Amino acid sequence: MGFKVAVVGATGAVGREMLQILAERAFPADEVVPLASRRSQGVEVSYGDKTLKVKALEHFDFSETDICLMSAGAAVSKEWSPKIVADGAVVIDNSSCWRYDSDVPLIVPEVNADAVAGFRKKGIIANPNCSTAQLVVALKPLHDHARIKRVVVATYQSVSGAGKEAMDELFAQTKAVFTIDEVEPKKFSKRIAFNVIPHIDVFMDDGFTKEEWKMVVETKKILDPKIKVVATCVRVPVFVGHSEAVHIEFEEPISADEARNILRNAPGCLVIDKREPGGYVTPYESVGEDATYISRVRDDPTVDNGLAMWIVSDNLRKGAALNAVQIAESLINRKLIQAKQKAA
Ligand SMILES: NC(=O)c1ccc[n+]([C@@H]2O[C@H](COP(=O)([O-])OP(=O)(O)OC[C@H]3O[C@@H](n4cnc5c(N)ncnc54)[C@H](OP(=O)(O)O)[C@@H]3O)[C@@H](O)[C@H]2O)c1
């Protein structure tokens, strides 16, 4: 007897990917139920080679559900996650709603899978921001080897990180540029087609954006509170795949060659670093892939024990849907949950 899994936000960029990944990985589900807002009731979504009809979250009874993968934004999660937990399901949430709650584990399985056991306090597990997820997958094995002191990161984030409407906006604007129509920013503050925007999420009092703040706070919670992080988060006209230019300072010596070897053997990491034209990964090649790709690893001669590198991953997968499904797998593998029907 398998699990009953609900996917909330199943019509969205992340939710659709979750359904795909559950099927791809042969997740032990007897039943998968796609849920979204009332607007989407009856919409068809793919689950492997099956087509499922979306149901409305507000009318759904979670009493037989074991696992709820939530991907419908912070407001929906704030209202619904406690109710779903009260009905006896574990919630794995993709929004920022619960990430900073000390009673909610924030998990990237390659980094801190053992912390999932902490889900019992609130019944909720949080998934990090997409930029943080791929960053910590690459930082963890290097930190274990030479202790990271400080990270300086600039991101090049695709529009899918802002959801399906943002993808439609890049498409519509790109078309408008070619047909010499008016280019209208809606979701983004400025035109995104053939442009880059150094602003993701809201501005904070210190001038950083919330997206930049998230990378700092989440890296500390997942990996090590002692690591200092400073980020500049930039939206680029790429549909899927986030890239990051990362500069790392370590306590102890580590060379680019050592780092490459460590990363080659690290879970979730794939090193493609040929030091020739095309011998690196771009976001386009990361689409549909599970790996966090590391390229352009160099010694940084401007600081003691410094490295520079380029990190790329599919934000909808490792940054969101894949990570959430891996968290669910960690719960099952550790026997921390069992299917309600089996238990009955
Ligand atoms: N995109 C990424 O790379 C990424 C990475 C990490 C985390 N996240 C987070 O994941 C969440 C979803 O992101 P997304 O990119 O998939 O957004 P999206 O494409 O805009 O999809 C949003 C989904 O939420 C559903 N929804 C909205 N309001 C609802 C309501 N009142 N009740 C039920 N369902 C509702 C939508 O259903 P309708 O179609 O019916 O409106 C849709 O299925 C966000 O919290 C986001 O911050 C995204």
> For the segment 190-246, what is each residue's pLDDT rounded down to a tens digit?
999 999 999 999 999 999 999 999 999 999 999 999 999 999 999 999 999 999 999
Active site residue 130: yes
Question: What residue ranges of the chain have pLDDT lower than 70?
Answer: 342-344
Q: How far is CA 66 from CA 31, 86, 302, 340, 342, in A?
A: 10, 12, 52, 6, 11
CB 189 within 8 A of CB 197: yes
Rounded distance between C-alpha atoms, residue 9 and residue 3, angstroms: 19
Please indicate whether residue 306, judged by its CB atom, sits closer than 6 Å to ligand 1.
no
**Probe target for ligand 1 pocket from 7, 8, 11, 93, with the most ligand atoms within 8 Å of CB:** 11
* C-alpha 78 – ligand 1 centre gap (Å): 13
DSSP letters along 262-317, please? HHHTSTTEEE---SSTT-S--HHHHTT--PEEEEEEEEETTSTTEEEEEEEE-TTI
Please indicate whether residue 37, judged by its CB atom, sits closer than 6 Å to ligand 1.
yes
* C-alpha 110 – ligand 1 centre gap (Å): 25
Please indicate whether residue 92, judged by its CB atom, sits closer than 6 Å to ligand 1.
no
What's CA 295's distance to the chain center, in Å? 20
Measured from the Cα of 16, ligand 1's closest atom is: 16
For residue 331, what pLDDT is reported?
97
* C-alpha 6 – ligand 1 centre gap (Å): 14
